[in-house]
């Protein structure tokens, strides 16, 4: 039963990440539409515009994701140290 619940939660998290990425990319494309039209008029092909736009979308998301993982690990370690030093838990590791 717990495996099914975990799988459903993981699916919802992935769906939320996908929807967030979709709406962020849609808004960035709308903001960059003038620049994309200008680059298209200069003769830049669609493949290069796609790659440029993809990197513009993925770079801040990947940086934020990486920093958030390290921040979460630091906070987790702090909470574990506080709970083990102030509360009377037995842990073998």
Q: 9-56 pLDDT, tens per residue?
A: 889 999 998 898 888 878 887 888 888 888 888 998 989 988 888 888
Q: How far is CA 77 from CA 45, 68, 70, 80, 81, in A?
A: 49, 14, 11, 5, 6
Q: With a cut of 70, say whether residue 89 has pLDDT above it.
A: no
Q: 73-88 pLDDT, tens per residue?
A: 999 888 888 877 777 6
Residue 87 DSSP SS3: coil
């Amino acid at each position: 039963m717990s495996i099914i619940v975990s799988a459903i939660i993981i699916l919802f998290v992935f769906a939320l990440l996908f929807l967030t990425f979709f709406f962020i990319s849609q808004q960035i494309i709308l903001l960059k539409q003038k620049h994309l039209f200008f680059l298209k008029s200069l003769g830049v092909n669609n493949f290069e515009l796609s790659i440029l736009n993809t990197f513009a979308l993925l770079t801040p998301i990947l940086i934020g994701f990486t920093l958030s993982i390290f921040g979460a690990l630091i906070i987790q370690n702090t909470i574990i140290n506080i709970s083990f030093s102030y509360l009377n838990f037995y842990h073998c590791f």
